Amino acid sequence: MTRKLFGTDGVRGQANTYPMTAEMALKLGQAAGRFFRRDGSNAHRVVIGKDTRLSGYMLENALTAGLTSTGMNVLLLGPVPTPAVGFLTRSMRADLGVMISASHNPHQDNGIKFFGPDGFKLSDAAEAEIETMVEGEIQPAQPQNIGRAKRIDDALGRYVEYAKTTFPAGLRLDGLKVVIDCANGAAYKAAPLVLWELGAEVIPVGVAPNGTNINEKCGSTYTQTAAEAVVAHGAHVGISLDGDADRVMILDERGQVADGDQIMALFAARWAEEGRLNGGTLVATVMSNLGLEKFLNARGLRLERTNVGDRYVVEAMRRGGWNLGGEQSGHIVMTDVATTGDGLLAGLQFLAEMARTGTPASALIRQFETVPQMLKNVRFAAGKQPLENDAVKAVIKANAERISGKGRILIRKSGTEPLIRVMAECEDAAMLRDVVEDIVGAVEKAV
């Protein structure tokens, strides 16, 4: 079954523009409610969380109306990280979890992500079935079976307490000065509180959301702000989250940044030494650097690659029984403790390694030498299909042959934005640049 509404991470778009309208949120709520309330009973519940975007109020109300109209009882969590929704869906025995967020995108965008009763994101097949229901007539509940809605005051506290339990027993963060950049997003309360209660001296950044400043010159996609704070305050380490806190970048005491590949390399090596890396395997996407693969192979470990999107990483992990995976972009998935990427929990594991070994962050964030990699994005207008253009296909084929044996290229359409992503890796930096620019030029001409 194909999906048109859903991308690689739920439904996403510009707020008040199709598909991110109140009308569509209402229909999605109705369809999801009917999908999960098949037996007609009134014991079904759904939890809804959101980040700090202004449009979150509109979408939250519309989703609530749609869900309650089909008989679902709605528990409103307020602003919480995306991984908190996954955790609370399972913890609170909900049939469905919903997160309203566009993650690292600017405030104008928003999105809707669904979690099943096990706390994991829905499969492609489930999303396709919900899409089909959106397009049809949805039977509402009888008047006496309409659902109720209420706010849950302790949702944030539940997640904070759980997050602390994932930090190794017997360790503390006393003496560590930590910059935490919350991107003016969903973790602006939870993350600083967890770190402080574990003993750290906390320098919070990006903790004053106003509805329109989420991810604005802060967070994991703009690490300069956290880097400046680390240097200015003489901090030992920086943790930079994105708007819904499912991504993380780590900064050392000099403000140097480690992406998801370096963080996964550190965790994989440590877990393998301790005998807790299931199957000796790390799961990552096709975007992860070749240097990571070489690092793992040198230690007798293997890298399992998936399509881009943390949900595909998680699906592969569940199929293979593996417990560590993620993306170069900063999604770190540890299925022993979470059902999706959790930037805060990953940050805590990095801090635990610092506390356990007494090693500075600068000695931990560079686990391997990266193979030179270049990524460029080309924006295109609605209705365009640049990758179907014959001239573009010819240029891609020619450059693939040129780089064969020396590196690799990856061309793909973004699942969350109208972008063509052109990525290549090659030891020869000049060839790398030429290959990427040649393909980008062809795509730009086509659009």
Beta bridge partners of 99: 49, 113
Cis preceding linkage at 19, omega within 30: yes
Q: Retrieve residue 156's tokens.
A: 């944030």
Phi, psi of 219 (to 5 degrees): 85, -175
Q: Retrieve residue 11's tokens.
A: 């439904």
Tally the C-alpha atoms within 13 A of residue 12's C-alpha that lie toward its C-beta.
Answer: 20
SS3 of 96, please?
strand
Catalytic, out of 103, 220, 288, 329: 103
Write the CA distances from 305 to 127, 309, 424, integer angstroms: 23, 11, 16
Cβ neighbours of residue 414 closer than 8 Å, sequence gap 6 or more:
377, 420, 421
Classify strands 11-14 and 109-115 as parallel, antiparallel or unpaired: antiparallel
Residue type, position 143, single letter: P
The single-letter DSSP state of residue 364 is: T
Helix extents (H) in 198-299? 224-233, 260-273, 290-298
The single-letter DSSP state of residue 245 is: S
Q: Give the Cβ contact number of residue 59 at 10 Å.
A: 28
Q: Retrieve residue 320's tokens.
A: 């293979």
The single-letter DSSP state of residue 104 is: T
Sole residue written with tokens 């290549």: 424
> Alpha-carbon Rg of the chain, whole angstroms?
22
Is the Cα torsion angle 329, 109, 437, 411 positive or negative in sign?
positive
SS3 of 290, please?
helix
Q: Report how far Cα 255 is from the mean position of its chain's Cα atoms.
A: 23
What are the strands, taking DSSP E only, across 355-427?
Answer: 373-379, 407-413, 419-426
Query: Is 121:114 a contact under the CB 8 Å cutoff?
Result: yes
Query: Is 183:242 a contact under the CB 8 Å cutoff?
Result: yes
Q: Retrieve residue 83's tokens.
A: 């991984």
Residue of 162, 150, 161, 170 lying closest to 78 (CA atoms): 150
Clarify whether 103 is annotated catalytic.
Answer: yes
Active site residues: 103
